[in-house]
Structure 1
Amino acid sequence: MKAKLQVGVLGFGTVGSGVIHILKEHQEKISQVTGYDITVKKVLVRDLEKNRRYETEGFSLTTEPLDVLDDPEIAVVVEVMGSIQTAREYILHALKAGKSVVTANKDLIALYGDELVAVAHENRCDLFYEASVAGGIPILRTIVNSLAADRIQKILGIVNGTTNYMLTQMTSENKSYEEALKEAQELGFAEADPTSDVDGIDAARKMVILTRLAFGMNVNLDDVETKGIRGISEKDIQVAYQLGYKVKLVGRAEEINNTVDVTVGPVLLPRSHPLSGVNYENNAVFVTGAAVGETMFYGPGAGELPTATSVVSDLITVAKNAKLGTTGNAFNSFVHETKNTPSDQVYSKYYFRLEMDDKTGTFLKLTKIFADAGVSFDKILQEPLDEHTATVVIITHAASRKQIDEASNAAHAEPEMRLITKYAVVEG
């Protein structure tokens, strides 16, 4: 008989149900791989009477957290309940009780990952969180293990399925922002309050985690320049497409001279770029390494079984470590002094859309504003909006963020010009 490894699960929602389902369906393979008979003993729920998607056989339900956290027979706690402070409290309790932890909670890891890793190490416990970024895509373990020998230079990520679904609908079906959001909510991709998704907060937290693992730098969420898709117009999507681009919400983290720059926001991607083909609720992470070059990891960014697969994979790693007696090592031990890149060292092309008074001298004033900031034009489109106003679209040559901000502020101050949109442009 194989040794037993008993698990407690905090949360029996979509992902929790998927974890229990996979452990049961793939029991024989998991047992062969780990050398353990992994079984769920207790599951924390809010409501004991609620109808469940899967049968609750072989384990008990409880509404008392300590029934799981203080059970001496439970060696591993799986946290899939969501929340931040409550989950933090439960995970700290579990780690201090000597239990390893697997979580899918990106908000928690982004905000309190350092603290939890330190407590896990102190108590010789494992803490894994593969499912916290990009659902079913094993991107974190790929960065930590498969790309450990390389020096990662840049990461571009479509890491929020809700906004990617909306932008796909706005691009391919010519739907408005409001129509795309309503459809995403009806399909369950967007919450009733979509703020975290549409304002880029969810993506920013995931980029904090990716940056920590790829570059060893603990960037604060406040240091991530974040802009969402709220207010994106059909006009910008149409003009971008006309110019050979697609608009996507992209998280970017780039190492520049031993510093790191992390942003989240709408960007123009060339239609030939691999990330441009990532549509609907799918996610993808595009990694550039000094040795390996460009690689992309693509798949479902959420969902019951994709996310649960990542959770169970972490659980398998915990079991293997327990068998080898190697628990307590950090998921990622790469640490580098954290330095944010100054704005005059971050270069990119940019897309501008302005509405300008259509009168003599206005365009000359615009070109002077950009020239004074050291920004030159790559492409220019102008078309009349009405008899007194024109729409001007500019794609610049690569310029520093500092130069772009100078030009933007100067244009914004001119009464004859109204800056409507400004997005970075990804090359290649």
Structure 2
Amino acid sequence: MTTPRSVAVLGSTGSIGTQALDVISRNPDRFRVVALSAGSNLDLVAEQAVRFDVELVSVAHGTHERVAEAVAAYAARAGRAGYRPQVVVGDDAAVAAARHGADVVLNGITGSIGLRPTLAALAEGSVLALANKESLIVGGPLVKAAAAPGQVVPVDSEHSAIAQSLRGGRPEEVRRLVVTASGGPFRGRSRESLRDVTPLEALAHPNFSMGRVITTNSATLVNKGLEVIEAHLLFDISFDRIDVVVHPQQIIHSMVEFVDGSTIAQAGPPRMLVPIALGLSWPERLADVDVPVDWTRAQTWEFEPLDDEAFPAVRLAREVGTAGGTHPAVYNAANEVAVDAFHEGRISFVDIVDTVERVVHDHADEGGSSTGSSTSGINPGSLTVEDVMRADSWARARARQVLGLETGRLTDAEGALR
């Protein structure tokens, strides 16, 4: 009998984490959860810890005493009063979970804070099931240098689809990757018509229920821009060989075009269960993870070209990805600030990507970093985590200045990147 894979779930109380634990609970002979990390949802992570009998519980926000009390309370209700896992609390909680030595680390954290746990998992030798796209995007050279061949398994549905489709041919037979996009709630609208859309409208994704930042990114197509950069880094395909096509039904998750004119596509329901399950079990498949496409039902699938004028985020992402260095970190950080400003009613919807573009160009015009050229920023070979975090901090401060949310001088660390 095969020994179950040990799994650490980072971001266990979020959408990816809870779905991963659902997959694991339905396959107890295949997986054993040994560590969990969460942000601040003590009740849920405590319940998860007791249910899966984990060895380590890591929480970013709170106190050791409160976390231990929450776990003890759930353990007592479950008739397991003696259960006492190791508890880690603080900024490095997720890193501790990533370093726990699990066979598979599922990084479901949102944002660039996932970079250090990603690097920790790779250093530990764990297979990294990567749902935290930001860590690869902002720390691309660092992550690629740290990862052994096959150590990173993509969990984003688009990149999982590409990885599955790539099984259909050799690398030298690949002509291009085709990343699909739903088009979000504003598909087909002109740039001018987008000026007056509300935050509530931007959060009305046609297919998914996600957090505020990711849902807004899907509406601006910043999320698709990030995915283009991610595809470039994951599969070593140049940007001119990565296309984006709008597919509102989101049944085709992405495609690979081969040199002979054949295109292989991966189809499935617009949900994350299959990509998550494959992230945990790769290269094997689990049985009955989700329902397949119902081929007995008449249905229509649409495909449309991307409107770069109304949605310039993908074009900008290509520029950022090509520039490399700390530019992707600036793109990501400036966007998060702009999204918050939009939801606070301070800027319009179209101002989000306009702000990101201005901050990115400021970064390039000022040299991209305290060292390096304006076109390449920091040499990828010398990029450090500190460089990435400093760029992230600078971009947030610069975006707030551009938006008039704060005035005054940047800090020394931020100013060094101007």
Normalized against structure 2, the TM-score is what?
Answer: 0.48
More strand by share: 1
Q: Point out which structure has higher relative CO (alpha carbons under 8 A, 6+ apart).
A: 1
More helix by share: 2
Look at both structures and tell me which one has the larger radius of gyration over its CA atoms: 1
Normalized against structure 1, the TM-score is what?
Answer: 0.47
